């Protein structure tokens, strides 16, 4: 049995704590995940675990032990730590005794298998990690083929994004690029109509636009669509605002439009 780490200054513990910062995630090539359900979903999706910190005295019931067995079978580095150590790695009020790091991942654009009937969500320079997490979760719910991030964009492996996605981060292919022209040209070439929302123009609800494949472009929270992206859009939709609100949150608007696409394509 491996010895239990009791020092919060242990190098592996310190490195894991640094993963709340994007720079260190990129330097180490991994990100931190906690929550038994999210950890199960990560393994179910084939995500590659790097290191697992565990504290058996905090295990409640049999699920955590079963999850640790799953991690053991992957060959991940298993690190036993004391309760006060895992508390420094967890953002939960009541840690569940397991925290794991996973390798960063993304899908190359040419790795998407598109037939022309799918939905791809394009996030144009989003800044809020909670919004991105919600968008990824909704994209998963409607069966989107991918979420594409136009850089610079909030990091999808930000802890708030990971939590907000509720595990969907592991289910939806992520494409990252800083070339919107190439991205949207490829998606159009695969048969996807380029559709974006605007408060002042476009078809109400996007009626008659959603049947078949679509690339739904969602703009930055403060500035909307960037000029180079706006020039690539071929179709516009708008959602009705009948109250006094100036606009909708991008994750809310994106969710409504994703379900508009799904409604038109349910068979």
Q: What is the pLDDT of residue 202?
A: 84
The DSSP code for 147 is E
Query: The tokens of 166 are what?
Result: 């509720």
Strand 146-150 to 119-124 pairing: parallel
Q: What is the pLDDT of residue 2?
A: 63
The SS3 of residue 232 is: coil
Q: What one-character-per-residue DSSP string does 39-96 give?
A: HHHHHHTT--EEEEEE-GGG--SSHHHHHHHHHHHHT-EEEEB-HHHHHHH--SSS--
The DSSP code for 29 is T
Q: What do you get for the CA distance between the two ends of the chain, in Å?
A: 54
Tens-of-pLDDT digits for all 267 residues of the chain? Answer: 469 999 999 999 999 999 999 999 999 999 999 999 999 999 999 999 999 999 999 998 899 999 999 999 999 999 999 999 999 999 998 999 999 999 999 999 999 999 999 999 999 999 999 999 999 999 999 999 999 999 999 999 999 999 999 999 999 999 999 999 999 999 999 999 999 988 777 889 988 899 999 999 999 887 889 999 999 999 999 999 899 888 889 999 999 999 999 999 987
Q: What is the pLDDT of residue 38?
A: 95
Q: How far is CA 96 from CA 14, 55, 101, 232, in A?
A: 20, 8, 15, 47
Instruction: For residues 49 and 104, give the distance between their C-alpha atoms in angstroms, rounded to a whole number.
Output: 10
Task: Classify residue 206 as left (phi > 0), alpha (psi -120 to 50) or beta.
Answer: left
């Amino acid at each position: 049995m491996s010895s239990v780490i009791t020092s919060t200054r242990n190098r592996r513990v310190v490195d894991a704590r640094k993963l709340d910062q994007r720079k260190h995630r990129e330097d180490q090539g991994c990100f931190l995940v906690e929550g038994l359900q999210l950890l199960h979903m990560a393994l179910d999706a084939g995500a590659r675990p790097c290191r697992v910190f565990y504290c058996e005295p905090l295990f409640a019931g049999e699920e955590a032990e079963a999850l640790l067995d799953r991690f053991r079978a992957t060959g991940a580095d298993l690190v036993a730590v004391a309760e006060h150590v895992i508390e420094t790695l967890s953002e939960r009020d009541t840690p569940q005794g397991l925290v794991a790091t996973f390798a960063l991942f993304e899908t190359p654009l040419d790795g998407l298998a598109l037939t022309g009937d799918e939905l791809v969500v394009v996030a144009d320079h989003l800044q809020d990690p909670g919004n991105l997490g919600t968008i990824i979760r909704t994209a998963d719910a409607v069966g989107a083929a991918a979420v594409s991030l136009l850089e610079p964009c909030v990091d999808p492996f930000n802890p708030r994004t990971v939590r907000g996605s509720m595990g969907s981060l592991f289910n939806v292919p992520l494409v990252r690029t800083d070339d919107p022209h190439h991205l949207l040209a490829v998606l159009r070439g695969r048969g996807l109509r380029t559709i974006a929302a605007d408060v002042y123009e476009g078809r109400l609800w996007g009626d008659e636009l959603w049947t078949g494949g679509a690339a739904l472009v969602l703009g930055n929270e403060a500035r909307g669509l960037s000029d180079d992206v706006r020039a690539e859009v071929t179709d516009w939709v708008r959602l009705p605002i009948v109250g006094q609100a100036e606009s909708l949150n991008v994750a809310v608007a994106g969710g409504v439009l994703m379900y508009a696409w799904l409604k038109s394509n349910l068979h």
